[in-house]
A and B are shown apart, each in its own frame.
Chain A
Amino acid sequence: MTSSFLLSLTTFVFLFSAIFYLSGTIFRFQPLLKAGAFAGWAALIAQTAGIGLRWAESYRMGYGHIPLADMYESLVFASWAIMVIYLVFEWRIGQRTLGVFPALFSSLAMAYASFSKGVDSKIQPLVPALKSNWLIAHVVTCFLGYSAFAVSFGLSALYLARRKHTENPNPQSGVLGLLPSASQLEWFNYQMVLFGFLWLSVGIITGAVWANSAWGTYWSWDPKETWSLITWLIYAAVLHARNLKGWKGQKTAWLSIIGFGCVLFTYFGVNFLLSGLHSYARQ
């Protein structure tokens, strides 16, 4: 069995997990939620094995390196990290109703990695600039941050939905019946943003240190760098806005959603939309 087969398989297991979580929440049926968590853990184990296998395969090909070096490998790692963060969080808070978005995101990331024409899943050797231990530190920390923000996006969306239905006289019924209260969701989201902000900060810093050792500049305002800074500024705004009267709650939830939009743009948009302009600027 090859690693890419095993990894593409997890796409579906994550998808099942998301479907279980969703239906368990809608029908307020605990066993379905349990099934969601079970599928999530199962996919995670398979994925971990897949990543290990790919690592070993790269050594067999003669240019071994940790699988964190290209678009495909980073998508796989993002998918893995989102679910790890979510499942540990789920276990800490003892609530299973928040898994829809994380499981869906993990599945989408794997689907895009495995089935998109634009993403090459072949193992590539490292080009000289990537040959550095900072590669591991930088990619791992950045993606832990991005993944926490993905979970935070889900929490913010649920918070906003929950807020809309606070007038519901019977909180135990309805589609959102099993969800934690709005104030709990707000707190969870804040915790997630803290976690993400810490790792994104470390990610940007390790990236800067790496750039300095490779090219002699720790900051050059290249679009990717700049967008990670934009993301960082938005989440810094989230953290400070919570201390401002009237911002805690809906406004910070919207800011977190915008923040995740920035994450997506940093990751995909910069590659696909800005490259043309970027090369134009370099002419």
Chain B
Amino acid sequence: MRVTLPILIFAKPLESKYGMSKETNAVFRLLTSLKLTLVLFLLLAAASVLGTILPQGANPADLKAHFGPTLGPLLETLQLNDLFHSAWFSGLLLLLGANLVACTLDRLPKTVRILRKPQAAFDSRKLSNFSLSRAIATTLPFETTRSLVESVVGQAFGQMSPIESDAGFCTFHESGRWTRLMVHVAHLSVLVILVGALVGSFLGFKGNINLGEGQTSDTVMLAGGKSALKLPFSLRCDKFTVSFYNTGAPKEYKSDLAVIENGRKVFSRSILVNHPLTFRGITFYQSTYGTVLKQAAIELTDKKSGKKIELVLPFQQPVTIPGDDHLLFIADYQEDFMGFGRAIELAYGKVGQQKDFSARWILVDKPTFHGNLIGNYLVHVTRAEKTRFTGIEVKKDPGVWLVWVGFILLTVAIGLTFYSSHKKLWVCIEPDEKRKKTIVTLAGRANRNPHLFEEKFEHLRATLELRLKELPSPKEGASDKDIKGL
């Protein structure tokens, strides 16, 4: 019977010499080679070692400062400062993938042929050639021996099926044929994981949102901080709490979140570390927390007239200075500005001329600093009110389920590859007319863990030898009982 699995139709022309040019064939041979696999494993390991030693994510200036003017730029050219996302590292991974595909195309057809092969024509004399083969001679007559052997072997190995044989009686047990597929499943699962990772990196995104209590936002800062993304809904933080153990270690971070769509709350839940929220395929993780400025009260002193003005500036919201045509707003805030303590960045400009605003850092903790100036005013910050914000990691990864499937397949397939095997056992019983004896021949084979199989085989042989001796005489009816016992 010819095998018709699609994979074979595909693989056949690759295998045959005339279906493929010499060069393609050579490339295919290289890709199927186990040597390449080994080289790739070791190269990937070596590259990963480098990636943990060299500072990843360091910018060119850092590299130059750290490694000198020749080595620094060289590291950057080789992308060693972002090794795991470099083209050549991805190339190595892709090559491993190609290696896996080629290896599977090369070997799977052979495995499938073994799986589909019917039991070949059988010659009982060949059994003694097996490396695992034993013969037992007994004085019991053929029929008695047969029923006894069938019962003992059946108990030890399970289902037996008789096979045609030229002399006497032969029976055969086979189990775990399918386990030969497991190594291919292990290999394919690695491919599934790689594909899942690719899908995630091309079709997904990752970023973060910082929300103060009561604040609403639909804008995600993407990883790297260079661009932003608008969500189809917005997120509001109703409350953020941190609790601590009596040792001072943090116990729990919790954000009460609400999802707002078209101005209405459609969903609300609290998130904790390890307990994210997923809405429309986008997942929100509790990641960090911190404090931001809520508002600041300032006192302006006109340098010329000495007139004083008091103002309260909410964070990043412009306020007009009374009696003036200028706006003022807090553009930024730092807990520690270059070692001088708290500072706010004040922006100042004419109404309607946003582009020409000038900005200055005003030191909160150093009120007498001569640089606390903006426009015509001396600035004194009288009060800075802060509020907590929660840092939420936002992620969409449409490939993650492929990765999970790959993980499960890999685990199961590795386990079965290691701890199950394709086992065969043959038992033949032949009368030896000349010596008035019956000969029982056992032979077996397992493709993996031969030691375990050998143990079981030896145990069977010992049991059989004992039982075949045990029966005192064939006429006592013990054999009848055994037959019924079947």
| A complexed with B | yes
Residues of A in contact with B (beta carbons under 8 Å apart): 63, 124-125, 127-129, 131-132, 134, 187, 194-195, 197-198, 201-202, 205, 208-210, 212-219, 221, 223, 226-227, 229-230, 233-234, 236-237, 240-241, 243-244, 247, 262, 270, 274, 277, 280-283
Question: In the complex, are the beta carbons of A229 and B48 less than 8 A apart?
Answer: yes
Please, which residues of chain B bring their CB within 8 A of the CB of A234? Answer: 41-42, 45
Question: In the complex, are the beta carbons of A213 and B51 less than 8 A apart?
Answer: no
Complex Cα spacing A180 to B273, Å:
51
User: Assuming A194-B418, A221-B84, A234-B41, is B411 touching A240 (CB within 8 A)?
Assistant: no
Complex Cα spacing A70 to B249, Å:
14
Which residues of chain B from 267 to 286 have a CB within 8 Å of any chain A CB? 272-276, 283, 285-286
Complex Cα spacing A194 to B272, Å:
38
9 intermolecular pairs with C-beta atoms under 8 Å apart: A125-B245, A131-B274, A201-B414, A205-B410, A213-B275, A226-B48, A226-B52, A233-B45, A281-B56
Contact with A along B388-423 (1 / 0, CB 8 A): 000001110000100110010011001100100000
User: Assuming A227-B52, A274-B53, A281-B57, is B45 touching A218 (CB within 8 A)?
Assistant: no
For B44, the closest partner residue in chain A by CB is A233
Contact with A along B242-272 (1 / 0, CB 8 A): 0001010111110000000000000000001
Minimum distance in angstroms from A73 CB to a CB of chain B? 16
Classify the secondary structure of A's interface with B: helix
Question: In the complex, are the beta carbons of B418 and A125 less than 8 A apart?
Answer: no
Does B297 sit within 8 A of A, measured CB to CB?
A: no
User: Assuming A215-B393, A230-B49, A274-B53, is B274 touching A128 (CB within 8 A)?
Assistant: yes
Minimum distance in angstroms from A235 CB to a CB of chain B? 9
For B450, the closest partner residue in chain A by CB is A187
Give me the 9 closest cross-chain CB pairs, A-B, nearest first: A128-B273, A281-B55, A216-B395, A237-B41, A233-B45, A221-B84, A223-B52, A216-B285, A132-B274
Question: In the complex, are the beta carbons of A244 and B35 less than 8 A apart?
Answer: yes
Please, which residues of chain B bring their CB within 8 A of the CB of A280? Answer: 55, 58
Minimum distance in angstroms from B198 CB to a CB of chain A? 13
Question: In the complex, are the beta carbons of B38 and A237 less than 8 A apart?
Answer: yes
For B37, the closest partner residue in chain A by CB is A240
> Which interface class (under 10, 10 to 19, 20 to 34, 35 or more) fits B?
35 or more
Max chain A C-beta neighbours (<10 A), residue from B45, B52, B253, B451: B52
Minimum distance in angstroms from B158 CB to a CB of chain A? 24
Number of A-B contacts (CB under 8 A): 121
Please, which residues of chain B bring their CB within 8 A of the CB of A195? Answer: 418
Minimum distance in angstroms from A48 CB to a CB of chain B? 26
Minimum distance in angstroms from B48 CB to a CB of chain A? 5
Question: In the complex, are the beta carbons of B55 and A237 less than 8 A apart?
Answer: no
For B410, the closest partner residue in chain A by CB is A201
Minimum distance in angstroms from A248 CB to a CB of chain B? 12
User: Assuming A131-B274, A221-B56, A281-B58, is B34 touching A216 (CB within 8 A)?
Assistant: no
Does B287 sit within 8 A of A, measured CB to CB?
A: yes
Which residues of chain B from 411 to 461 have a CB within 8 Å of any chain A CB? 411, 414-415, 418, 451
Does B197 sit within 8 A of A, measured CB to CB?
A: yes
Complex Cα spacing A240 to B249, Å:
46
Please, which residues of chain A bring their CB within 8 A of the CB of B37? Answer: 240
Minimum distance in angstroms from B428 CB to a CB of chain A? 30
Complex Cα spacing A234 to B46, Å:
10
Complex Cα spacing A124 to B248, Å:
11
Please, which residues of chain A bring their CB within 8 A of the CB of B239? Answer: none
Question: In the complex, are the beta carbons of A198 and B53 less than 8 A apart?
Answer: no
Complex Cα spacing A190 to B40, Å:
21
Cross-interface CB contact of A230 among B34, B48, B250, cutoff 8 Å: B48
Extra pairs beyond A229-B48, A237-B38 (14, CB < 8 Å): A124-B249, A125-B247, A198-B411, A198-B415, A205-B407, A214-B285, A216-B395, A227-B48, A233-B44, A237-B42, A243-B34, A262-B45, A274-B53, A281-B57
Cross-interface CB contact of A124 among B53, B247, B287, B414, cutoff 8 Å: B247
Minimum distance in angstroms from A136 CB to a CB of chain B? 13
Please, which residues of chain A bring their CB within 8 A of the CB of B53? Answer: 274, 277
Please, which residues of chain A bring their CB within 8 A of the CB of B350? Answer: none
For B393, the closest partner residue in chain A by CB is A216
Does B206 sit within 8 A of A, measured CB to CB?
A: yes
For B84, the closest partner residue in chain A by CB is A221
Question: In the complex, are the beta carbons of B56 and A216 less than 8 A apart?
Answer: no
Contact with A along B177-221 (1 / 0, CB 8 A): 000000000000000000001000000001000000000000000
For B395, the closest partner residue in chain A by CB is A216
Minimum distance in angstroms from A60 CB to a CB of chain B? 14
Cross-interface CB contact of A216 among B38, B206, B275, cutoff 8 Å: B206
Minimum distance in angstroms from B81 CB to a CB of chain A? 9
Please, which residues of chain A bring their CB within 8 A of the CB of B58? Answer: 280-281
